[in-house]
Chain A
Amino acid sequence: MSRLLALLGRETALAWGRGGGPLVAVGFYAGVTTFLPLAIGSEPARLAAIAPGAAWVALALASLLSLERLFERDYEDGALDQLFLSPVPLELTCLVKCLGQWLANGAPLALAAPVAAISLGAKPELGPLAFACALLGGLAFAFVGGIGAALSLGARRGGLLTAVIVLPLFVPPVIFGGGALDAFAGGLPWTGGFALLGAYALGAIAVGPIAMAAACRNALS
């Protein structure tokens, strides 16, 4: 257990400290959010209609960005070999890596999500749900995205490849989260979509590490 905690500390510190940490993801998120009114038009009525969904899509894209370094960093400097040889099963290591990724990138993005949604014209009441959806969705994005990052280890243009692999797998959480936010904004029951988002996140936590570990073993072999 102490090994896992130490690993979690290391992963979070690396994701937080190196290469700009959460600033890059949040900056990208802010950039995409700024682009939307510029491209779509600034009329509040039009913006408010798409605000929850647009903020949610921008969040999914921003979560993609930091995935590239999740495994590649350790793969390049040999730390992944060390983790592979350690007594901790590789599956647990991958789980902890994704948790660190979520703490360092997903949580700051979740804090930014209500700001983005409200600045696009969503009602302030949407704020808490936008935060909760982003927190839960971030978990799904980190664990599904980790599969893509692990699979594209050793590939040329790994970051782009990760995006191509992961985007089709992001469809369910994007639908569930966007559905919950849209329903809430429209005054409809929203708990269904939120619960399904949570279920997807749990499923990703259960299955993701197995696939990630298999992909890492393959890359290290």
Chain B
Amino acid sequence: MSWAPAFLSNPERFMAFSRWAAPLLGAVALGLAIWGLSLGFNVPDDYQQGQTVRIMFIHVPAAWLCMFIYVCLAAASFLSLIFRHVLADAAAQAAAPLGAAFTFLALVTGSLWGRPMWGAYWVWDARLTSVLVLFLLYLAYMALRASLDDEAKAARAAAILALVGAINLPIVHFSVDWWNTLHQGASVFRAEGPTLAPVFLEPLLIMALAYMATFGALWLVRIRGEVWRRRAEAAALRAARA
């Protein structure tokens, strides 16, 4: 995929590409979500979790995605900071609220699952806490961006914060793990293969793809909006000068 940044770095080409890629991804996301959800509603009850196992299909992909979006945010920030790439900055700016939204979704669905399973909406367990810290980091990124008036400065400051956060997040993750763990261990991404039963694994993976496509579609739409906004501002500036 090394051609992708080079190909998409031209705003014109990006706009032409995303014009059809965004709706296409959206349609794919819708199809996958319908498929995955219908499978998810028809799985047998889990012998331990009963009905609540179905929350997993909307919770776990959100939790995966909120990490993945941060990686996207950090990568885009890196490109914009080092190569001063305008489109990369628009991508970082567009990714942050999406990341915050998916993190919020992961927290809310997790807490709804935790109530019947653990008997509490919230427990101060390691994974919950590190996802909460990730959420705070997204908020900090957006707050920093919003409170600097000069857009170019805000972009670079936010990019520095995103990279500092990227260094810190693994440490946060480790420190929170060290602190306490009550959450069950990983059951899909393991060296010896997933321990999750295939009936549950299939809808889960389909939903993960659906989430991924949703994020891709929304991200492209938001980057497009950002490009349009900047064009409109530049045009307004030109009109004011003339």
Contacts and interface: CB of A to CB of B under 8 A. Distances in A.
A155 B144 contact: yes
A168 B160 contact: no
Contacts of A179: 178-179
B140 A165 contact: yes
B8 interface: no
Contact of B140 (A156, A157, A168, A207): A168
Contacts of A215: 157, 160
B81, B164, B165 — most chain A CB neighbours (10 Å): B164
Interface string A51-83: 000000000000000000000000000000000
Contacts of B157: 151-152, 215, 218-219
Contact of B175 (A154, A155, A164, A171): A171
Contacts of B136: 167-168
B contacts with A: majority SS: helix
Interface string B140-179: 1001100111100100110011011101100110111011
Interface string A196-221: 10001001000100010011001101
A196 B176 CA distance: 12
A157 B146 CA distance: 11
B209 interface: no
A contacts with B: majority SS: helix
B161 A165 contact: yes
Given A154-B148, A196-B178, A207-B167, A168 B161 contact: no
Nearest to B141: A165
B76 to A, nearest CB: 17
Given A154-B148, A168-B165, A176 B175 contact: yes
Query: Which bucket holds chain A's interface residue count?
Result: 20 to 34
A124 interface: no
B133 interface: yes
A221 B153 contact: yes
A47 interface: no
B178 A207 contact: no
A32 interface: no
B175 A172 contact: yes
A129 B136 CA distance: 30
A175 to B, nearest CB: 5
B135 to A, nearest CB: 9
Nearest to A208: B164
A214 B78 CA distance: 13
B137 interface: yes
Interface string A158-194: 0001001101110110011001000000000000000
Given A164-B139, A214-B156, A215-B157, 13 more contacts: A147-B160, A147-B164, A152-B144, A152-B147, A154-B150, A161-B143, A168-B140, A172-B168, A172-B172, A172-B175, A214-B81, A218-B160, A219-B153
28 contacts: A147-B160, A147-B161, A152-B147, A152-B157, A154-B148, A154-B150, A155-B148, A156-B147, A157-B147, A161-B144, A164-B139, A165-B143, A165-B161, A171-B176, A172-B168, A172-B174, A172-B175, A175-B175, A175-B176, A176-B175, A176-B178, A179-B179, A211-B160, A211-B163, A218-B156, A218-B160, A219-B157, A221-B153
